[in-house]
Amino acid sequence: MQLLTPQNFKDYELIDVGGFEKLERFGQYITIRPEPQAVWDKTLSNTEWEKRAHVKFMPRSSSSGEWKKLKQMPDQWQMKYDINNSTAAIKFRLGLTSFKHVGIFPEQASNWDFIFESVKKLAATGIAQPKVLNLFAYTGGASLAAKAAGADITHVDSIKQVVTWSKENMEISDLNNIRWVVEDALKFVKREEKRGNKYNGIILDPPAFGHGPNGEKWKLEDNINEMITGVLNLLDDKHFLILNAYSLGFSSLIIENLLKHKAKENLNIGELYLQATEGNKLPLGVFGRWRNF
C-alpha cells in the first residue's frame, strides 16, 4: 500500500493540524478550517494560529458557516500548481464559501501528476488525443491536468455553479475546449454505456453523500459498486483509472476489492495525506490507480 503526499506544491502549505482544525496557506493567505480527522492536539498554540491566520471558518451547522477575517484579505484570490514540477502550470480561483471549502483539495495534486503523466504516456503509444472522463469533478483540478497534457476531457459534476467555477479555472490556466456536463454522474455513466462510448482515462472522486441536479441521491457505500461496474465498461483497451474515496472508515482494501477482478495487474492502492510543516500527517482519503497500456 502506498502513502502519497504532494511534492513541490509551492503555493500550498499545511502548517499545523490538530484539535479538529487545520492551519493552511493557500498562496499568500492563511486559513483556519475544521478538520474532523484531526483528533490529536495541535503542535502550535491557539494564539500562534490566530496570529498567523488571515481568516477563520466559524461553523453554524454541520454543513455551513461563515468566515471571520482576522487580517485584511480578499474574498477571492488565485493560486497555481506546477504539474510534475514542470512548466505546465494550472491555476485556481479560490474563494471563501459558506461550506468551508475554498475551491481546491490540495492532496489531489499527487493524482494530478499521475493523470498528466498517464495522458502523455498514452499519447506516446499512438493515441493522438486520449479521451478522459472526470466524474464528480468539482472545480476541475483533474480536468485541467488532463487537458494540459493534451487530453480530450469530459468534466461531469451535478452542481452548475461548481461547473461555472471550473470554467473560470480553465480560462485562467490558458486552456480551452473542455466538455462540461451538469448531470448526475451515475446517470451519465449509464447513458455512455448505452451509447457504447469508450475512454482512455476515467477519474472518480465521489463524495460520501451527494445529490444530483434533479434530486438524485448518492451515498458512497450504497452506490459505488454499481458505479464501478459501469465505469469499467467504459474503459478502452488502453486506459488508466483513478478512484478516490474520502469517507471516515473507508478502507483502501474496499477499493482493491472493487477493482481487482478486472485490474488483475498494475493496480496500486493507498492513502493520500498532507504533511504538516509542524510534523503531523493528515489522512485525506484512500485511492486506487490502475494503468493498462
The structure's pTM equals 0.95
Assigned domain for 288 exists: yes
Assigned domain for 93 exists: no
Do 66 and 208 reside in the same domain of the chain?
A: no
Answer yes or no: is pLDDT of 229 > 90: yes
Residue 195 confidence (pLDDT): 97
Share of the chain above pLDDT 90, in %: 87
Do 116 and 240 reside in the same domain of the chain?
A: yes
- Tell me whether residue 126 is exposed, middle or buried, using C-beta atoms within 10 angstroms of its C-beta: 0 to 12, 13 to 18, 19 or more: exposed
* CATH code, 177: 3.40.50.150
Assigned domain for 94 exists: no
Do 177 and 54 reside in the same domain of the chain?
A: no
Please say whether the dihedral angle defined by the alpha carbons of residues 206, 98, 51 and 29, taken in this order, is positive or negative. Answer: positive
Contacts of 271 (CB under 8 A, 6+ apart): 1, 2, 3, 4, 252, 283, 285, 286, 287
Do 143 and 269 reside in the same domain of the chain?
A: yes
For 154, the domain range is 106-292
Assigned domain for 95 exists: no
* CATH code, 72: 2.60.40.1180
Do 120 and 193 reside in the same domain of the chain?
A: yes
Do 129 and 234 reside in the same domain of the chain?
A: yes
Answer yes or no: is pLDDT of 261 > 80: yes
The number of folded domains in the chain is 2
